[in-house]
Amino acid sequence: MFTITRKVTIVAVALLFLGSMTLVGCSSKPDEAQMKQLDDLKAEVASLQKEVASKEQEKATLQKEVAEKTAKVAKVKQDQQIVKQRLGK
């Protein structure tokens, strides 16, 4: 009895799998509007990727400027300390 139930279950799962594959295999190809929409999305993605690259370049430039100004401030503070020490304060 156990083997018959198991065989029926295996056959049912196999039929369910084949049935789902048949339904998926019968899907239609994308129409012209869907293809245009896909092409538009691809163009938008490319544009956004270029914008991201541009913004990353801008960020790197700004970070370099900040580092330079921070170094300059540190140098000025160091010079200020030297002047205070020479004045005896």
pLDDT one-digit tens code per residue, 12-58 = 767 676 666 665 555 567 788 889 999 999 999 999 999 999 999 99
**What's the predicted TM-score (pTM) here?**
0.54
Judge whether 12 and 4 are in contact, CB under 8 Å.
no
pLDDT category at 1 given cuts 50, 70, 90 is very low
pLDDT number for residue 89: 62
